[in-house]
Amino acid sequence: MDEIQRKLQQSSKATREDRLGRTICYTCIGLIIMLVTCILYFIASKGIATFTKDHVNVWQFITTSNWEPGNMDSKGHPMVGALPMIVTSFSVTLLAALVATPFAIGVAIFMTEISAKRGAKLLQPVIELLVGIPSVVYGFIGLSLIVPFIRHIFGGTGFGILSGTLVLFVMVLPTITSLTVDSLKAVPMHYRQASLALGATRWQTIYKVILRAATPGILTAIIFGMARAFGEALAVQMVIGNAILMPKNLVSPASTLTSKLTTDIGNTVMGTLPNDALWSLALILLLMSLFFNMLVRFIGKRGNIKNAS
């Protein structure tokens, strides 16, 4: 009797394990949340210092194009105009996504619709390999091959948005491809069967049914690719030329937000304006990636509603 009572009233080994598991889980989650909050707070507080402590006009920061944070202009305002870097960052990102998307969709269609077996055997490892190559290697290849190639064709120095785009194209291709593959695979089989039963050819099925149904997923893939391109620093820095000039054309040296950060962060002193200004650039990057994330969620939601109706 006592034995049974004791067993019933005491927590069993399984419950203890359950409690332990839950504690571990919650602690981990708590830590991660704390970490993310800390990072957000740190970048935000540092990035805002340029505007609060050094009294730089926010509007001026994002719309003027003179970047010399160490010097003052004739009126005594610090010269921190980040526009050239913002423009360049967006240009390389958009161009890279623009070039990569058709290729990515083509490869994805081949892998899912046209030759699933060969695609899985041959292309899957290739795509995975592309993801695994470190960005510095891409940058080095870009510096040794793409830059001289561009210089040979277009003249100039070969450094610039075009070289950056080409390097990023290879880097975002696997991201966009694999996510597109996932979204194509998620299209229900009965869509295909119904389409074929109606007498549609394979191309008609792909173009009018599968791609349409997978559009939200493909858009998400593109945005993830753009987020990757926007945040890529090292490879771009090696081929973009790092000149803080408004890009005149695709082959003139320019500088992105990330490349400026990697180049300069070691040469500035914490707490001074040149350092704060770099943190502000980091803040812009952070806000942009938040924006990309929100866009993905928005598209995801809309896509779901469409599928349900």
Q: Does 263 bind another protein (CB under 8 A)?
A: yes
Residue 288 and residue 230 in contact, taking contact as beta carbons nearer than 8 Å: yes
From candidates 196, 262, 286, 289, binder to another protein by CB under 8 A:
262
DSSP for 64-131 reads ---EEEEEE-TTS-EEE--HHHHHHHHHHHHHHHHHHHHHHHHHHHIIIII-HHHIIIIIHHHHHHHH
Nearer to another protein, 217 or 241 (CB): 241
Among 174, 247, 253, 303, binds another protein (CB under 8 A): 253
Q: Smaller CB distance to another protein: residue 31 or 294?
A: 31
Q: Is residue 36 part of the contact set for another protein (CB under 8 A)?
A: no
Q: Considering the rule CB under 8 A, would residue 64 count as an interface residue with another protein?
A: no
**Alpha carbon distance 18, 122 (integer Å):** 44
CA-derived radius of gyration, the chain = 25
Structure tokens at 49: 């210092």
| CA distance between the termini of the chain | 60
CB atoms within 10 A of CB 24: 10
Residue 60 CB, nearest approach to another protein (Å)? 18
How many CA within 13 A on the CB side of residue 18? 5
Report the residue from 158, 164, 216, 217 that binds another protein according to the rule CB under 8 A: 158
Q: Which of 99, 130, 143, 200 binds another protein (CB under 8 A)?
A: 143
- 13-32 footprint of another protein as x/- string (CB under 8 A): ----x--xx--x--xx--x-
Q: Could you give the C-alpha distances from 156 to 29, 168, 179, 248, 251, in angstroms and in order?
A: 52, 21, 37, 12, 7
Q: Which is nearer to another protein, 241 or 303 (CB)?
A: 241
List binders of another protein among 69-98 (CB under 8 A): 70-71
Answer whether 209's CB lies under 8 Å from 200's CB.
yes
CB of 167 to another protein, least distance (A): 15
The gap from C-alpha 52 to its chain's centroid, in whole angstroms, comes to 29
**Contact stretch for another protein (CB under 8 A) within 4-12, 155-163, 193-201, 300-308:** 155-163
Please report whether residue 37 would count as binding another protein according to CB under 8 A.
no
Residues of this chain that interact with another protein (CB under 8 A) are 17, 20-21, 24, 27-28, 31, 68, 70-71, 143, 147-148, 151, 157-159, 238, 241-245, 253, 255, 262-275
